Amino acid sequence: MASSAVLCLLFCWAARALDVSVGKATSIFAQNGTDVLLPCTFTACIGFENAEFSWSFNATQLYTGMVRNKNVRPVCKLCNPRVQLPEVTLHKDSREYNLSILLLSVDFSDSGKYTCAVKNPKEKGAEHNATISLAVVVERREPVSILGLILGVSLSLLLLGILGYALAKWYREGPFWHRPHFVFNLYHIRSLKSVELELAPPFTISGSMRDAGGGSYMRFHEGGT
């Protein structure tokens, strides 16, 4: 049991007794006029009592407070009407404590660097901080997925190809297309006395033919739909 406690203390000392984090993203974007959450958590390996924390904007104090222990909410010392501490619940077994703040109705002048700092008297006044950058824009930027864009364009082209093929097939085999239902020998064209041809369906050809001797002739008429 004692060896486990010693190993824990050695691990905390080798790593970092007090650690402050603002998450993996070091910069965030927010749309003008909206509320934005600035994340911050700290971890104390041997626990904390009356830990002091502060948020600063471009090296100017924005909010300060104190946390008695991990079971109570922070107490504000230097309050700001534009800053709120949201209700964020962490697992009771977690070593982290949440010090995130909600910045209300941001505008372009709020763009800059925000630093979250913590001081833990239980660890001989150990201090640590982390910084996150905020950019206020007219419209919020969302990350573009290259793979999603490629898949979307490919799917659109595939659907257009299928639609074009279906329309072409329907036009050729639909009511607007009918093959003629007759066979006409071109040799007899010279013997036609008169020919009338209707190009639009239904197709109709009519005329007359005479025999080789130049005598009688025979009228014909062929129509198709």
pLDDT at 138: 87
Q: What is the pLDDT of residue 150?
A: 87
Q: What is the pLDDT of residue 1?
A: 44
> What's the average pLDDT block by block, 10 residues per block, for the chain (225 residues)?
43 62 90 94 85 92 90 88 79 74 94 94 88 87 72 87 83 60 49 48 52 51 50
What pLDDT is stored for residue 103 in this prediction?
A: 95
pTM here is: 0.56
Q: What is the pLDDT of residue 117?
A: 95
- For every residue of the chain, DSSP letters joined together read -HHHHHHHHHHHHHS-SEEEE--S-SEEEEETTS-EEE--EEEETT--SSEEEEEEETTEEEEEEEES-TTS--EEEE--TTEE-------TT-SEEE--EEE-S--GGG-EEEEEEEEEGGGTTEEEEEEEEEEEESS------HHHHHHHHHHHHHHHHHHHHHHHHHHHHSTT----S----GGGGGGEEEEEEE-SSSPEEEEEEE-TTS--EEEEEEE--
pLDDT of residue 133: 96
The confidence score (pLDDT) of residue 93 equals: 54
